[in-house]
Chain A
Amino acid sequence: MTGRQVRSIPVMGTVASVHVIGTADAAGLDAAVDACADTLHRADRVFSTYDDASDIRRMARGELLEEDADPWVAEVAEGCRRAEIETGGLFDAHLPGFFDPTGFVKGWATERALREHLAPLLLLPGVQAVGLDVGGDLQVRTSPDSDWTWNIGIVDPADRGRVLATVPLRDGAVATSGSAERGDHIVDPRRGAPATGIRSATVIADSLTRADVGATAVVVAGNDVSWLPRATGTSGLLVTVTGSIRRWIDGVTVDVNSRPTTAPLLTPV
């Protein structure tokens, strides 16, 4: 039985879960978890839209110039601009009059915290894998020497106590966006109104920054899946409000017939 150590960190209005597979030295683990927490708290202080004292709220009120803000603001703003281009405008942090990188920051900060503070634990003897899940968006890393594989559950948006699908992962990220927890809170930047066609979108990618932005973009796109051919390097699953499910690998939709016992040789889908 592979050992596992778990810590939780209240942050960003949710809870972050740190999982370390194997046996980590307690002092080393505590220091890594603290550093992880510092990264996430700093992201919260700088980017929170709920906190009037955050850098981006002060910038929105004209009380703080970008050059005087935390250097992460410029880094995130640049990342958001790239994401806006890559998603063809489905993701947009630069809404009129107000820079709101909410759909970007959690994935970006989580990926950064894992890379800078948890991944180094893999160099310690006995540590096989590390994972960080912040409120349902997660990034994992596994030592190349380990045969550990993470089994990631994707929550059923119709019943949050159930898992709809599972996906094996060694190094990568899974992000899910949707209305299951907090209602229709994702705004379609093209219409300035909440996106409503997709109940839940899950994107699996190397990078949680990319997966998080991608999941938001899939929700915004709604029933128009013309983004799919551009989704190379990712796989995922979306559930529409009518309950139908679409899955894709590397930009191609995959439909799976139920496993037949006396099957026709070939079934056009």
Chain B
Amino acid sequence: MDRPLKRIVYAVLATVSGLVLLFGYRTSHGEEISAAAAASTNSGVSSDSSGSTSDAQQSTSGDSAGSSSDGSSSNGSSGSGSDASSGASTSSDAAASSGLQDGTYTGDSVGTRFGPVQVQITVSGGSISAVDVIDYPSDNPRDRQINERALPTLISETTSAQSAQIDMVSGATYTSQGYLQSLQSAIDQAQS
């Protein structure tokens, strides 16, 4: 992939970071595509950042699953604004019809005032078929509330998880005997 395309994708990724933050870390398919398209189009018009935000909100407001409206609306606009301007250095039209190679692309971790956000896009048939949040601020419980769309965080990806408080354990079904040696048993005994 050549350098201009990379920059374009990066611009989309950076912008999408802000947008995803805005929308409470939603990870579904169709709406995010329009959000990305709206973002990339508007990022070229950096002066109109408030318009960019409201456009994008409109394009995704139909599906409320997983997005908590409070806490993200006011917070998100500032995050989105700064990210949009960082991505605004590249032209936008190409991103919408870029003919990207199929594959999965991971953006850099983007620092926001809430913590690092990192997103990944999947390109299929030359267009973005999915946008996924693969890193998100972990110190705010409300922000972590993504339920069934929660991505398991590998221990090797974090240092903090090693010492994290585990509340319950999922694993292959243990027998009554196996329970005695299980992590769940240790947790149960420590808590009761």
Give A contacts to B, CB under 8 Å: 4-8, 10, 13-15, 17, 19, 106, 131, 133, 135-138, 140, 147-155, 157, 160-172, 174-182, 200, 202, 204-206, 233-237, 245, 247, 249-250, 252-260, 263, 265-269
Residues A180 and B172 in contact, CB atoms below 8 Å apart? yes
As a 0/1 sequence over residues 169 to 186 of chain B, the CB contacts with chain A under 8 angstroms (1 = contact) are: 111111110110111110
Q: Apart from A8-B188, A19-B168, A136-B172, list 8 A-B contacts with CB within 8 A.
A: A6-B191, A17-B168, A149-B144, A153-B183, A155-B169, A160-B183, A269-B104, A269-B106
Closest B residue to A186 using CB positions: B172
B49 proximal to A (CB < 8 A): no
B125: chain A residues within 8 A (beta carbon): none
Residues B173 and A6 in contact, CB atoms below 8 Å apart? no
Residues A166 and B166 in contact, CB atoms below 8 Å apart? yes
Residues B148 and A204 in contact, CB atoms below 8 Å apart? yes
A164 CA to B161 CA in the complex, in Å?
10
Contacts A160-B182, A256-B106 given; indicate if A167 touches B152 (C-beta within 8 A).
yes
A153 CA to B161 CA in the complex, in Å?
10
Give B contacts to A, CB under 8 Å: 1, 6-7, 9-10, 13, 27-29, 101, 103-109, 118, 120, 122, 129-130, 132, 134-135, 138, 141-142, 144-155, 157, 161, 164-176, 178-179, 181-185, 187-188, 191-192
Q: Which 8 A-B residue pairs are closest in the complex by CB-CB distance?
A: A155-B171, A153-B166, A165-B152, A6-B192, A15-B179, A174-B170, A135-B173, A136-B171
Closest A residue to B192 using CB positions: A6
B191: chain A residues within 8 A (beta carbon): 4, 6, 19
Counting residue pairs across A and B whose Cβ atoms lie within 8 Å, the total is 233
Residues A266 and B167 in contact, CB atoms below 8 Å apart? no
B138: chain A residues within 8 A (beta carbon): 168
A155: chain B residues within 8 A (beta carbon): 169-172, 183
Residues A252 and B152 in contact, CB atoms below 8 Å apart? no
A267 CA to B120 CA in the complex, in Å?
10
A4 CA to B192 CA in the complex, in Å?
8
B172: chain A residues within 8 A (beta carbon): 136, 155, 157, 176-182, 200
Contacts A6-B192, A165-B155 given; indicate if A151 touches B165 (C-beta within 8 A).
yes
- Cross-chain contact of B175 among A14, A235, A236 (Cβ < 8 A): A14
A174: chain B residues within 8 A (beta carbon): 170
B134: chain A residues within 8 A (beta carbon): 254, 256
Chain A min CB distance to B139 (Å): 11
Contacts A176-B170, A260-B108 given; indicate if A266 touches B155 (C-beta within 8 A).
no
Contacts A4-B191, A265-B10, A266-B9 given; indicate if A166 touches B153 (C-beta within 8 A).
yes
A160 CA to B166 CA in the complex, in Å?
14
A48 CA to B103 CA in the complex, in Å?
46
Chain A min CB distance to B7 (Å): 7
